[in-house]
Amino acid sequence: MIELPVGPAVSVDDYLAMAPRGMWSKKWRLLKAYLTGQPVWITWQVTYNCNYGCSFCTYWQNDFKPEEENSLQDFVIGSAKLSELGSLIVSLAGGEPMLRRDIHRIVEVLAQDHFPYLTTSGSGMTPKRARQLWEAGLWGCSVSIDYADPDKHARHRGVKFAFERAVKAIEQLMENRSDTSFQRVQIISVLTDDNLEEMPALCRLARDLGVYWQVQPYSVMKTGNERQRHLVGATEMLLALKEGYPETVHSNRVYLEKFDEAANDGIDGCIAGKAMFNIDNRMVVSKCVEFNESEPLGNLRTDSMQNVLGRLRAAHAANTCSACWYSCRGEVEVLYSARGFVNSVPSLLWQSGGEQARTG
């Protein structure tokens, strides 16, 4: 079994010259992290810059310069420190991650010992870049589509032809996978106050494209706009879709069962800081993406993983936030119930990312 070194003395080339850990070894290390109470899900904001203007987000107002954001060397340092906890699911987010021309190199670094997962609007995807990502070791990719009506999606995302770009990106990702036994693609939709009726059509779109579909609710923490909260009644519809399209709907049933509760009073018991945490575009660690500025807990460039982990656990112990039901929270949180764990085991450990049903 390989030992991946920690520290700034290890160059990017030296790190990548090591044989990556095998898939089943990674899966065992992920399960071991879960069983021993270590974090299992990391969200890493590789950039806060974005070329869209989404109505439910303000990140697109940022303008970080390349030298202000993590270098490839930073990702080597961070990846090696995360390896002390296990082989983790590392969600690469933003902003728009595809704005980084080195995103495939970032994936290559993280894939040495982890499961890198990318979330994108679809902007900037090409057949070449899709191949680069898969060959670098990308485990999966979520492409954001919130409305089945192309014009509505474009208005919501603030960019013309956003829908068409997203669909094209999905097709390019599917056509250029290097290993269909595990590389998965899905549509992810943000549920707001005006698109619940769009969900069945989006689910069917995913089915027809041969990919998975996942949904998460908007959180008022993003913009402060209370009017965009999703409406009560979502749970019934989403569970019906889960029942009707079991091969397509990737969201955990136990997660979907709590959508109406999240819309009403919020959900207590957040596991941020315990089972998940965030790393931002300058290596700052926080319990959650929404707290990276107000409650920073260290920096992986300079702090040891064990020191940061201690602060994360203290932040979790004092956590009273119930404001979101993001998938990065809820899909992980339900793993800590018996039903939620049973529902997620096939997806996390064994389920392939191969072709889905294209019928109907």
Phi then psi for residue 351, to 5 deg, are: -60, 135
Distance CA 322, CA 344 (A): 23
Q: What is the DSSP letter of 3?
A: -
- Counted domains in the chain: 1
Residue 340 resides in a domain: yes
85, HSE (Cβ side, Cα atoms, 13 Å): 27
Which are the contacts of 42, defined by CB distance < 8 A and separation ≥ 6? Answer: 82, 88, 89, 90, 91, 276, 277, 278, 279
Query: Mean pLDDT for each 10-residue chunk of the chain (360 residues)?
Result: 51 90 92 93 92 72 79 95 96 93 97 96 96 97 96 91 97 94 92 94 97 90 71 91 94 94 89 95 94 92 96 96 90 87 62 36
Q: Strand, helix or coil at 111?
A: coil
Residue 17 resides in a domain: no
Residue 30 resides in a domain: no
Q: What is the pLDDT of residue 52?
A: 81
Q: What is the pLDDT of residue 266?
A: 87
Contact 198, 147 (CB under 8 A): yes
Q: What is the pLDDT of residue 1?
A: 33
Contact 323, 221 (CB under 8 A): yes
For 252-258, the CB contacts below 8 A with 24+ separation are 252/330, 252/331, 252/334, 252/340, 252/343, 252/344, 252/347, 253/339, 253/343, 254/334, 254/337, 254/339, 254/340, 254/343, 255/327, 255/330, 255/331, 255/333, 255/334, 255/340, 256/215, 258/325, 258/330
Residue 25 resides in a domain: no
Residue 92 resides in a domain: yes
CATH number of residue 208's parent domain: 3.20.20.70
Q: What is the pLDDT of residue 287?
A: 96
Residue 241 resides in a domain: yes
Instruction: Verify cis geometry, omega within 30 degrees of 0, for the bond prior to 95.
Output: yes
Look up the pTM and report it: 0.91
The two tokens of residue 280 are 């931002």
Residue 354 resides in a domain: no
Domain carrying residue 56: 39-347
Q: What is the pLDDT of residue 285?
A: 97
Element (H or E) spanning 41, and its range? strand 41-45
Q: What is the pLDDT of residue 235?
A: 95
Residue 135 resides in a domain: yes
